[in-house]
Amino acid sequence: MRSILFAALLVFNGAATAAPTILVYGDSLSSAYGIPQSAGWVALLGERLKQRNSNYTVANASISGETSAGGAARIGKALAASKPAIVIVQLGANDGLRGLPVEQMKANLAAIVQASKREGARVVLVGMQLPPNYGVKYVNEFRAAFGNVARDERVAFVPFLLEGLDKREQFQADALHPAAGAQPILLENVWRKLGGMVVLPPK
């Protein structure tokens, strides 16, 4: 009996001291598409947390080409696998590029946020914008959708992941994906909201 109780205590203590996880749940903009993994903003986030002696770890479940519908379909497994304390939701760009219905995207993003909250995770929703050639009405509705979801679900909101990227050399040859040199800017855009949520240990 004593050995059983001792084993149970070991398991309990291990769970209690496990490092909390930040799950980044996005598409190619977060999966380091076209650049070394170590240069992507998610990897840079992990390095920043280490430098600041944070006990958080980062899990990247981003998939290039992912839509909000794909994200909504797999969020349960992603949450079960990482058991995150914080989820950064960065999806929707591919919905916009494909001209998918905005209301459908909003419903998918809300489902991802709600699933994360049910598991006890705090959420940062990252917004996206489209170039004007997609039509003023669609562009405006698309941009507003992210803020509306964040407001309705009462979660932290980053208005635009690519804020501050206004030079051609900041993008790869496809003119869509940020180059390695631009990744620190993406990190700063996310950090403005995430930084205040990350509890750092006393020095």
Distance CA 93, CA 131 (A): 11
Which domains are delineated in the chain?
A: 19-197 (3.40.50.1110)
Query: If you average pLDDT over every residue of the chain, what do you get?
Result: 91
Handedness of CA 111, 164, 33, 99 (dihedral sign): positive
At residue 108, the pLDDT reads 98
CB-based contact 162:178 (threshold 8 Å): yes
- Taking residues 28-54, report their average pLDDT: 97
Read off the tokens for 63.
Answer: 């998939």
Q: Which residues have CB under 8 Å from 94's CB, separation 6+?
A: 27, 65, 66, 67
- Taking residues 70-97, report their average pLDDT: 98
Which amino acid would we find at residue 13? Answer: N
Active site (annotated) includes residue 62: no
Q: 27, 28, 30, 31: which one is catalytic?
A: 28
Give the DSSP letter string of 171-191.
B-TTSSSBPGGGHHHHHHHHH
At residue 69, the pLDDT reads 98
Q: 30, 31, 62, 177: which one is catalytic?
A: 177
Active site (annotated) includes residue 152: no
Q: Is 10 exposed, middle or buried (CB count within 10 Å of its CB: 0-12, 13-18, 19+)?
A: exposed
Task: Classify residue 97 by its DSSP letter.
Answer: H
Active site (annotated) includes residue 30: no
Q: What is the pLDDT of residues 99-129, one digit of tens each?
A: 999 999 999 999 999 999 999 999 999 999 9
CB-based contact 103:127 (threshold 8 Å): no
CB-based contact 124:194 (threshold 8 Å): yes
- What kind and span of H or E run contains 26? strand 21-26
